[in-house]
Amino acid sequence: MAVLRNGVRPVIYIVSDSIGETAELVGKAAASQFDAGKADIRRVPYVSHPDEIPEIVAQAAQESGVIVFTLVMPSLRGFLLSEAAKYGLPAVDILGPVLDALRRVTGREPRFEPGLMRKVDEEYFRRVEAIEFAVKYDDGKDLRGITEAEVVVLGVSRTGKTPLCMYLAHKRIRAANVPLVPEVPVPQELFTLSSNRVVGLTIQPDYLVWIRRERLRTLGLPAEAEYAHEDRVQKELAYAEEVMHRIGCTVVDVTGKAVEETASRVLEIYYRGLRRR
C-alpha cells in the first residue's frame, strides 16, 4: 500500500472546472507507481470562482495532501498555485503547460472554455448510440424502435431508407425505418407519433423499376422477377401513398437525389417540428 512517511495513505485533491476525470486519471496513474497504488481521492469538480479556492487548499493542507488540477482559466490556475504555495503544498497543473506549449506552436490563444473535451465526448457517444440504434431498428426488425426513434422513415423497398437512417445517425439523430409492403399490416405505433417524427419516401415508378432490376442483377437473379415488374412497383407505391396519407406525414420524393439531399430535407422537417413544441 502506498503510504506517506507517517504511515498515512496519500490524499490527492482533484480540482477541476469541469468534472475532473482527466486529473483523476493522472492522479491514479501516478499513485499506481507506489506500492499497491492506493490513495484517497478527493474530487472537487466545477470550480469556477477564485472564492472557492482558499477553502479547498486549506482543507488539502490539513490532510497533507497533493493537489492535481485542471483549470482552464489562467487567473484560477495562478490563484490556486499561489494559495498552495502559502502552505508549501504540492500542486500539479495538468493543463497549463500543455496550453502554453500549444499557444507557442500555433500562435493562437486558447478558447479558455471549461468542459470542451466532455462536450466532444458526449457528441461522439451520442453518434455511436444513434448508429447502433439505426442498425438495431433497420427495416422494421424490431417495432419497439418506432416509439423510441426521433425520426421514423417509411417507404417501399429500394427507396434508400437504410442509407438515410445511417446518415441521420451520423448527425446524432436516432432513426428507424419501416418498409411498406401491401401484404404486411402497417404497425399501429406509426399512428401514435407526431407528424414531424415520421417521413415518407416516394420515388418515380420507372426509376424504381430500374433500381430494382439493377439490384437483382447484382444478386445474380433474373431482372424479370415480380419484385421489379412495373405492375408490382405501381401497386406498392400506391399502397405506400395511401398509408402516408393516413399517417399525415411529409412525403419526400427521392428520385435521382443523393442521400445528403434527402437527409437535409428530413432534418428540416424534424427540427421545424421541435421548434413548434
d(CA 257, CA 68): 54
Residue-wise pLDDT for 187-245, tens only, equals 999 999 988 899 999 999 999 999 999 999 999 999 889 999 999 999 999 999 999 99
Sequence-distant (6+) residues with CB within 8 A of 138 are 162, 165, 176, 177
In this prediction the pTM is 0.61
State the chain's mean pLDDT as an integer: 89
Q: Is 3:10 a contact under the CB 8 Å cutoff?
A: yes
Domain 11-114 shares a fold with domain 122-275: yes
Instruction: Encode the chain (277 residues) as per-residue pLDDT tens digits.
Output: 334 455 567 899 999 988 888 888 898 888 888 765 578 899 998 898 999 999 999 999 999 999 999 998 888 999 999 999 999 999 999 988 888 888 888 988 877 777 666 666 677 788 889 999 999 999 988 888 999 999 999 999 999 999 999 999 999 999 999 999 999 999 999 999 988 899 999 999 999 999 999 999 999 999 889 999 999 999 999 999 999 999 999 999 999 999 999 999 999 999 888 766 5
To which H or E segment does residue 27 belong? helix 21-31
Going from N- to C-terminal start, the domains of the chain cover: 11-114, 122-275
Strands (E), the chain: 11-16, 40-44, 66-70, 91-93, 151-155, 175-179, 198-202, 250-253
CATH of domain 122-275: 3.40.50
Place of cell 437473379: 221
Q: Report the pLDDT value the prediction gives residue 223, as an integer from 0 to 100.
A: 85
Q: Which amino acid is at 218?
A: T
SS3 sequence, 111-131?
A: CCCCCHHHHHHHHHHHHHHHH
Q: Which amino acid is at 140?
A: G
Class of CATH domain 11-114: alpha beta
